Structures are given as structure tokens and as C-alpha cells.
Amino acid sequence: MTSYSIMQLADRIEAAFFIIGGLILLIELAEAWFKGSLKVRTLGEVAVSFSTLIPLVLAETFLLTGAYALYYTLSNEFVTWTLPLTWWSLVLAFFVADFVYYWEHRIAHQVRLLWTQHAVHHSSRDLNIATAFRFGPLEGLWALIIHLPMVFLGFSPEMVFFGGITVLAYQTWLHTETIGRLGVLERVLNTPSHHRVHHGADAKYLDRNYGGVLIVWDRLFGTFQAEEETPRYGLVRDFDSRNPVRVWFSELPGLARDLKASRNPREVWRHLFGRPGSAPDETGDARASNQVADGSSRTPNTG
């Protein structure tokens, strides 16, 4: 197994899930058409979800170049040993990347600065395959940082990228209401049912089901919630826009206002790195504060 073959495999897996997602999206649109529920608003949500790829691709062009350079430099200069490029090490890289993704995702909901990017993904009041491609322009920067420890554990940059790409690609098909529950698979894998919960803005569904491929991390760390009724999707605060620019940067105006109103460095720090929606002098559970009218939070507490 070579570095080239690993990246080829990652590309094929990504392409396969893209095709699966595309087919599900066609089914979703056809179903809505036959039921008479396909509205201009729905098509607008789909369009604005895909529009987020414009700033994302521009940012990722530079981020991925930097990531390759950084990962290879660290691996060559500071890591004295690396795992061999074999099938078993590739499988191990996948499981470690999935574990890392759980924490990447959970922390992105807990830290307001990171939430300014991830909130874009949660801002749609619809849930369909197009939502899977709805990203904040700089989400990849946090992913780059939190996967760095894998390099120091001995995983080659190619294995790290393989794990990250595979975990993200898998999640494409999860963003749908077309697929119901999947029986015994629900106990181990992240499924559309579990991911509908994650996108729910209802109080019982907030801060739940962060897993990428495996749902076992949520079961292990106490963030699992089964789907009991159809969630209400979107942000907790009243945000419903199909203006691409507003969607791309939806959380930044609120953060800028709070930073401008900060009275001291401690408040600046809490606005940047505290829970989304929590007041700068808050020390307790911030869950209740996510109902504030002008807050920028959907999920102020990891639960």
C-alpha cells in the first residue's frame, strides 16, 4: 500500500457517498413534487446550502495546502516513528479519526468562536441531503488543528487525511427524512434517525449525537438521544434566511457586537471561547440562556 493508493481510496469512498447522497436528494425532491409540498422556499434552502461551497472551496484551497505542508513537516521533523502503510493501520486510522471527529464536533458546539462557523451547517430549517454540504467557510481550520495529534501518534499525513475524508463522506447520506430507522444498526452506527436528533432545535435534542460514523462515542460519553418525535430543525434563535451572504456569516455580526460591548479582557475571552449564548459573567449551566432573543446560539451546552 502506497501514499498514492491511500488517497485514491479516500477519493473513491468520497465519490461513492456523493453519488448516494445525490440519488437520495433526487428521491427527496421527487417525493416532495408528487406530494405537492415542493415549494420555492425549499428550493431556495437547497440553493443556499450549496452556495456555502463557494467560500468553503476558496478557503479550503489554502487550508489544505497548508495542512499538507504542516503535517508533512511535523511528521518528518518531529516524529521519530510512523505506523506502516498497511490495511490494519488504515482501519485503525479510520477509528481514531472518528473518535477525534466526535470531540471536534462536540467542542465546535461548545466554543462560540468555533460555533460561528459550525452554526452555518445548522441554520437551515429543512433537513435534506443539500444540508450535508452546508459549511462555514473556516470549519476546516478547526479540523486541521484537532487532527494534529494523530501525526504525533505515528499516523502518516495520508492516513490522517484518509480518516478525516472517510468520516465526513459517510455523513452525507445522514441528512434526510426519507430514511427511517435501521434496526440493530442504530446501536452502533450514526444513522439518519440519530442525525435528525442532532439537527433538532428542541430542548430535548440539543447537544446530542455528535458522532461521525459510530454512535458508540455518544453512548459512551453521555450525549446520546434517540429520536422520539420529528425534530424542529434550525437554530434556536429566530434565523430563517435564504440570502447566501447572511447564511455564510450569520453568527459574526452578533459576535462583533458582543466584543465591541466588552468591558474588559475577561469578557472578550468569554465571548470568544465561552459557550454560545451564555452571558459573559455566567458561571453556571448555560442551557437556559440559549432562548435569548438576540443570542447567536443553537447549542450552548454539551449536555
**Residue 100 predicted with pLDDT over 90:** yes
**Residue 276 class from Cβ within 10 Å (0-12 exposed, 13-18 middle, 19+ buried)?**
buried
Contact of 168 with 12, CB cutoff 8 Å: no
Summarised one tens digit per residue, pLDDT across range 246-286 is: 999 989 999 999 999 999 999 999 999 999 876 555 433 33
Q: How far is CA 249 from the centre of its chain?
A: 16
Question: Binning pLDDT at 50, 70 and 90, where does residue 294 land?
Answer: very low
Which cell goes with 280?
A: 459573559
Question: Binning pLDDT at 50, 70 and 90, where does residue 42 land?
Answer: confident
Q: How confident is the prediction for the chain on average, in pLDDT?
A: 88
Dump the DSSP string for 246-258: HHHTTTHHHHHHH
* pLDDT value of residue 280: 53
Q: In this predicted model, which residue has the larger pLDDT, 55 or 39?
A: 55
Per cent of the chain over pLDDT 90 is: 68
Burial annotation 127-149 (CB, 10 A radius, 16+ → b, else e): bbbbbbbbbbbbbbbbbbebbee
* pLDDT value of residue 111: 96
Backbone angles phi, psi at 29, to 5 degrees: -65, -40
**Residue 298 predicted with pLDDT over 70:** no
Eight-class DSSP state of 86: S
Closest alpha carbon to 201 in 239, 231, 240: 231
* pLDDT value of residue 278: 63
Instruction: State the Cα angle at 158 between 75 and 156, rounded to 5°.
Output: 35
**Residue 21 predicted with pLDDT over 70:** yes
Query: Residues near 197 by Cβ (< 8 Å), separated by ≥ 6?
Result: 205, 208, 209, 225, 226, 227, 231
- Separation between Cα atoms, residue 252 and residue 136, nearest integer Å: 11
**Residue 99 predicted with pLDDT over 80:** yes
Give the count of beta carbons closer than 10 Å to the beta carbon of residue 287.
19
- Separation between Cα atoms, residue 276 and residue 278, nearest integer Å: 6
* Stretch among 61-70, 113-122, 138-147, 213-222 having the lowest mean pLDDT: 61-70
Summarised one tens digit per residue, pLDDT across range 159-218 is: 999 999 999 999 999 999 999 999 999 999 999 999 999 999 999 999 999 999 999 999
* pLDDT value of residue 216: 97
**Residue 225 predicted with pLDDT over 50:** yes
Per cent of the chain over pLDDT 70 is: 91
- Separation between Cα atoms, residue 265 and residue 92, nearest integer Å: 42
* pLDDT value of residue 277: 74
**Residue 302 predicted with pLDDT over 70:** no
Question: Binning pLDDT at 50, 70 and 90, where does residue 81 land?
Answer: confident
* pLDDT value of residue 12: 94
Contact of 272 with 263, CB cutoff 8 Å: no
**Residue 235 predicted with pLDDT over 80:** yes
